[in-house]
């Protein structure tokens, strides 16, 4: 058996089987080549985050449909539901083509080559692409696949189990819980629902707190209407600054959007105080707790809407893409938001839901192990002479939302005194995007999320102005035996 702590090969998957959502980028040279679309790296990826790395099953299925329809188009996607297809068409000014290839499944493409980038980014940002498991089933149906990969599934009504677990974890009513095909689709759905409610009230000012995950930020930047604006308050931990930013929005405040804790600085804000200010001003508070997970923190009591990824933590095997939306029944906007949220989201494919439910049965125990390891590793890193700065969850604001006393989010970001590249290339853990898996994952976050910024002087200055070191390394702590985990980091960190 291969050691857990070793140098993983380029493209090697974290999870066994064809549905892994993490593929290894073992060196910084590989990271740069990945971002610059070099064939050497992209052809080696066995698995990858599906919204960024199109699955081979999806590519093969698209080629089948294109050949069957005698179509010759380059940029294509497979999308479920005519509503999303229509929204994409509107976004590209009516310049998309579409073909229903299966009941409710559409092959779509941009009609102009100049729209290809915007088209591809829309699929990425909104999380509306096809599941690898659905593509696997359709390939078999059309005689293009030999068999379905054997894996463990939940036995029973997976949809009911997942919704009941989500309701229990967030203390919500089950009718206010909606599983989604991805975390990003959950966020996008929440955004559109809030937008629909607030534009009718003449409210178009959106306020972002802190640094948001790349696609969340892109949604706010790209999909606002002509009469809507976005403002950003980077001082997420400075309650006075946040309250001032909320007040400055006046009666035009539509929504405040925050990740709590934030990514990648793992900062928490005073949600209760902020929620009261947003509510008093007639705004809606959208909170994403993915970084710590709904297993570790309780944010729905303050949020109007909760949007989260379930790929992380809930799907700790790193082999399923899913998300969830939860509506706070006590929100002043609950009655207005419910019909906008219900049915708007892209539902998980039934086999993904079975796999997710199977994983969720063990998730509380796995997350507890991650938290335990994270607390120990945090102490080790803080004391290590090679570590210049550590970003982690412990704070009074985090304690206010933590479900356990002295709880620690299983995510730590560090800045080194020496060479980030040497450490990254040397350390013997999985390296790539994503987190919340049983295996520890190291990520040069800004290089994978904002390569355009880290590669220019202006971009690096922008990151520094937001309090983010471009060479920050994010550590997603797994469930491995702690002594071995610490030893892997100790070997890679310079001792002086």
Mean pLDDT across 339-367: 95
Q: What is the pLDDT of residue 496?
A: 63
Say yes or no to pLDDT of 327 above 70: yes
Q: Is the peptide bond before 376 cis (omega within 30 degrees of 0)?
A: no
CATH code of the domain covering residue 439: 3.90.1150.10
Show which of 315, 335, 360 is a domain's final residue: 360
Lowest-confidence pick of 97-106, 121-130, 355-364, 391-400? 121-130
- 20 found inside a domain: no
pTM of the model: 0.95
Banded pLDDT at 47 (limits 50, 70, 90): low
* 121 in the same domain as 85: yes
**What range defines the domain where residue 94 resides?**
56-130
Rg (CA), the chain: 22
* 390 in the same domain as 340: no
* 93 in the same domain as 237: no
Q: What is the largest CA-CA distance in the chain?
A: 64
Q: Is 471 helix (H, G, I), strand (E, B) or coil?
A: coil
Total domain count, the chain: 3
Residue 79 burial (10 A CB sphere; 0-12, 13-18, 19+)? buried
The DSSP symbol for 311 reads T
* 400 in the same domain as 341: no
* 367 in the same domain as 329: no
- 485 found inside a domain: yes
Show which of 338, 360, 382 is a domain's final residue: 360
Give long-range contacts, CB 8 A cutoff, 24+ apart: 216-219. 216/184, 216/187, 216/257, 216/259, 216/288, 218/121, 218/125, 219/125, 219/126, 219/187, 219/188, 219/191
Q: What is the pLDDT of residue 2?
A: 60
Note whether 25 and 189 are within 8 A (CB). no
Residue 423 burial (10 A CB sphere; 0-12, 13-18, 19+)? buried
- 327 found inside a domain: yes
Mean pLDDT across 118-142: 93
Say yes or no to pLDDT of 414 above 70: yes
Q: What is the pLDDT of residue 211?
A: 79
* 65 in the same domain as 93: yes
High-pLDDT (> 90) share of the chain, %: 83
* 368 in the same domain as 225: no
Note whether 287 and 256 are within 8 A (CB). no
CATH code of the domain covering residue 68: 3.30.70
Mean pLDDT across 149-164: 97
Q: Is 476 helix (H, G, I), strand (E, B) or coil?
A: strand
> In the numeric block, which tokens belong to residue 375?
């607390």
Show which of 344, 360, 376 is a domain's final residue: 360
Average pLDDT, whole number, for the chain?
A: 94
- 143 found inside a domain: no
- 4 found inside a domain: no
- Quote the CA–CA distance of 188 and 223 in Å, as a whole number: 10
* 218 in the same domain as 232: yes
Place of tokens 């109007």: 304
* 329 in the same domain as 209: yes
Lowest-confidence pick of 9-13, 249-253, 321-325? 9-13
* 69 in the same domain as 34: no
| Short-list 220, 290, 266, 230, CA closest to 468 | 266
* 370 in the same domain as 356: no
What pLDDT digit, counting tens, does each position of 447-475 carry?
998 899 999 999 999 888 888 999 999 99
The DSSP symbol for 251 reads G
- Quote the CA–CA distance of 132 and 352 in Å, as a whole number: 9
> In the numeric block, which tokens belong to residue 90?
């509107």
> In the numeric block, which tokens belong to residue 342?
């219900």
CATH code of the domain covering residue 309: 3.40.640.10
Q: Is the peptide bond before 261 cis (omega within 30 degrees of 0)?
A: yes
- 403 found inside a domain: yes
> In the numeric block, which tokens belong to residue 258?
């925050």
Say yes or no to pLDDT of 1 above 70: no
What pLDDT digit, counting tens, does each position of 256-292 carry?
999 999 999 999 999 999 999 999 999 999 999 999 9
* 84 in the same domain as 67: yes
- 225 found inside a domain: yes
Q: What is the pLDDT of residue 259?
A: 95
Banded pLDDT at 53 (limits 50, 70, 90): confident
Say yes or no to pLDDT of 119 above 90: yes
Mean pLDDT across 186-213: 93
- 91 found inside a domain: yes
What pLDDT digit, counting tens, does each position of 214-235 carry?
677 888 988 999 999 999 998 8
């Amino acid at each position: 058996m291969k050691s857990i702590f070793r140098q993983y090969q380029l493209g090697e998957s974290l999870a066994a089987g064809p549905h892994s959502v993490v593929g290894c980028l073992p060196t910084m040279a590989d990271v740069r080549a990945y971002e610059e679309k070099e064939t050497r790296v992209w052809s080696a990826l066995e698995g990858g985050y599906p919204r960024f790395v199109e699955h081979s099953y999806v590519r093969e299925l698209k080629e089948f449909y294109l050949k069957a329809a005698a179509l010759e188009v380059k940029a294509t996607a497979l999308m479920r539901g005519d509503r999303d297809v229509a929204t994409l068409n509107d976004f590209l000014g009516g310049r998309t083509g579409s073909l229903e290839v299966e009941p409710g499944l559409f092959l779509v493409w941009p009609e102009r080559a100049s729209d290809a980038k915007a088209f591809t980014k829309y699929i990425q940002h909104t999380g509306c692409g096809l599941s690898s498991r659905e593509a696997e089933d359709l390939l078999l149906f059309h005689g293009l696949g030999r068999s379905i990969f054997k894996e463990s599934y939940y036995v029973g009504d997976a949809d009911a189990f997942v919704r009941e677990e989500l309701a229990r974890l967030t203390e919500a009513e089950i009718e206010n819980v909606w599983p989604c095909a991805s975390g990003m689709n959950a966020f996008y759905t929440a955004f559109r629902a809030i937008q629909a409610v607030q534009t009718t009230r003449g409210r178009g000012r959106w306020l972002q707190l802190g640094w948001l995950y790349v696609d969340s930020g892109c949604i706010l930047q790209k999909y606002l209407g002509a009469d809507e604006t976005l403002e950003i308050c980077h001082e997420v931990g400075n309650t006075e600054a946040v309250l001032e930013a909320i007040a400055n929005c006046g009666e035009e405040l539509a929504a405040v959007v925050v990740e709590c804790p934030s990514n990648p600085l793992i900062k928490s804000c005073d949600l209760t105080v902020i929620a009261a200010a947003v509510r008093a001003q007639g705004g809606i508070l959208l909170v994403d707790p993915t970084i710590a997970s709904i297993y570790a923190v309780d944010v729905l009591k303050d949020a109007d809407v909760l949007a989260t990824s379930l790929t992380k933590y809930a799907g700790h095997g790193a082999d399923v893409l899913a998300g969830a939306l939860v509506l706070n029944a006590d929100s002043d906007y609950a009655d207005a938001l419910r019909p906008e949220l219900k049915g708007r989201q892209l539902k998980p494919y039934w086999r993904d839901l079975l796999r997710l439910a199977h994983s969720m049965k063990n998730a509380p125990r796995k997350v507890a192990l991650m938290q335990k390891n994270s607390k120990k590793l945090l102490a080790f890193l803080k004391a290590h002479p090679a570590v210049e700065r550590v970003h982690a969850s412990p704070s009074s604001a985090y304690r206010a939302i933590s479900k356990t006393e002295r709880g620690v989010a299983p995510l730590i970001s560090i800045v080194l005194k020496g060479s980030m590249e040497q450490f990254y290339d040397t350390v013997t853990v999985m390296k790539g995007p994503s987190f919340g898996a049983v295996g520890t994952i190291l990520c040069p976050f800004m290089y994978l999320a904002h390569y355009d910024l880290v590669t220019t002087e202006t971009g690096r200055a922008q990151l520094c102005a937001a309090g983010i070191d471009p060479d920050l390394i994010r550590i997603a702590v797994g469930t491995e035996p702690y002594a071995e985990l610490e030893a892997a980091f100790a070997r890679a960190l310079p001792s002086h």
